Amino acid sequence: MFDLDRWQEIFSSLKHNKLRTFLTVFGVFWGIFMLMIMLGSSSGLTNGVTEGMKDFATNSAFVWTQRTTQPYKGFQRGRRWNFTNDDMTGIKKNIREINILAPRLNGWGGDGANNAVRGIKSGAFTISGDYPEINKIDPVLMVKGRFLNNVDIAEKRKIAVIGNHVFDVLFKQDEDPIGKYIKIKNVYFKVVGVFKPKNPNVNMGGDKGQTIFLPFTTLQRTYNFGDVVHYFGITAKEGVPVSQIEDKVVTLLKKRHKIAPNDEQAVGHVNIEKEVKKIYILFTGMHFLIWIVGIGTLLAGVIGISNIMLVIVKERTKEIGIQRAIGATPKKVIGQIITESVFLTTLAGYSGLVAGVGIIQAINLILVKSGVDTGMFKNPGVDFNIAIISLIIIICSGVFAGLLPAYRAVKIKPIDALRSE
């Protein structure tokens, strides 16, 4: 491996065929370069998605009402119905596997009409009536003040917790909103907190930054919603699958409201745990596809090197014959061919690896320095272990690329080689 004469022969051969050498190694360079770019981009996308929902309770589910699609117990199909406050008690009493139950009442928002006013400023926001427990399922980051608490619920206080975009619209940037009043549908509420979303990639009920949280009981009483509940957020106790309690909740609510047990459309529901698993399966499939494409491209480059090595062996037929005639063993000939093949693939592959990782790191640095909100793309990079594995694959590929040419070289008989023109 460290025979000086062998390396002099290799460098002499490469130097005299510069264009051929470049074209030979470019396929391997491009294959590993694109593999690093694709892996880095995939990592950035994965990080962006997971970072945007890392604080969300993934062991959760949400249920809401929809029109019935089947007649049942005297009720016609197409009936509108709602959950009620009594359903909260019924769920807690009958389903012990539930950890958190967070009812929600949707006030207004989504129609584009201004519903919140402060002085001469106004805006169209999502008005939501909640219990403090919602902050354990989909937490927010408090910028100023506090979130809802149980005293607000019990005393039906007219207070509001506003999103950062609500603050931007209704207040001046240097203004302290805590203790100030905003008017929502002609009723005044005191602002007790300002928040920004922790999970920007999960929006249950709309953009949280443009949401105003009111105490659930306050919204019910102030705007005459009666005992209506629009949907429930639930989480399972540790070790209990969310799908298990999801099914129990849906069955219980159908029974309480006289809904046909086989009416699949009457209760809308989403299992966050199941959706998160789908996302991870999608990313796993994407990584697998990237490796297939990258290794396929790399393999094409390796085959190119193997073909060129065959040409080189043919060109050196007389030289190899002389070496065999003066006592060179088959092992030495094979070693020389494989060494050159490994050198070419390693040089090309390492260059592609460094270039690919360098570009990914440069992109990451630019994104960090610029401070722009990259949304679902964050911290692209290539894992060190992946880079090492890629380098090992390159070296092994070089060995395989040189095997056939080396075998051909050993098969050459010295007497035939010396006759070769």
Quick check: helix, strand or coil at residue 326? coil
CA pair distance 333, 315, nearest whole angstrom: 14
pTM of the model: 0.72
What angle separates helix 272-315 from helix 18-51, to the nearest 10 degrees?
170
Q: What is the DSSP string of 174-236?
A: T---TT-EEEETTEEEEEEEEEEES-TT--SSS-GGGEEEEEHHHHHHHTT-TTEE-EEEEEE
pLDDT at residue 20, rounded to an integer: 65
Q: What is the pLDDT of residues 341-373, one digit of tens each?
A: 777 788 888 888 889 888 988 888 887 787 666
Q: What is the pLDDT of residues 267-306, one digit of tens each?
A: 999 988 888 888 888 888 888 888 888 778 777 777 777 7
DSSP 237: P
Q: Confirm if 321 and 417 have CB atoms less than 8 A apart.
A: yes
Closest listed residue to residue 55, CA positions, set 164, 193, 197, 194: 197
pLDDT at residue 191, rounded to an integer: 96
Closest listed residue to residue 405, CA positions, set 29, 24, 32, 30: 24
Q: What 3 state SS string does 344-395 have? A: HHHHHHHHHHHHHHHHHHHHHHHHHHHCCCCCCCCCCCCCHHHHHHHHHHHH
DSSP 65: E
| Residue ranges, the chain, pLDDT below 50 | 1
* Assigned token pair, 60: 């959760």
Looking from the CA of 261 toward its CB, the CA atoms found within 13 Å total: 4
The torsion region of residue 288 among left (phi > 0), alpha (psi -120 to 50) and beta comes to: alpha
pLDDT at residue 58, rounded to an integer: 82
Q: Which amino acid is at 350?
A: Y
Q: Confirm if 108 and 127 have CB atoms less than 8 A apart.
A: yes
Residue that has been written with the tokens 């088959």 in this structure: 330
DSSP 76: P
Note the Cα 81 to chain centre separation in Å.
37
pLDDT at residue 167, rounded to an integer: 95
Cα distances (Å, whole numbers) of residue 220 to 80, 103, 250? 19, 12, 23
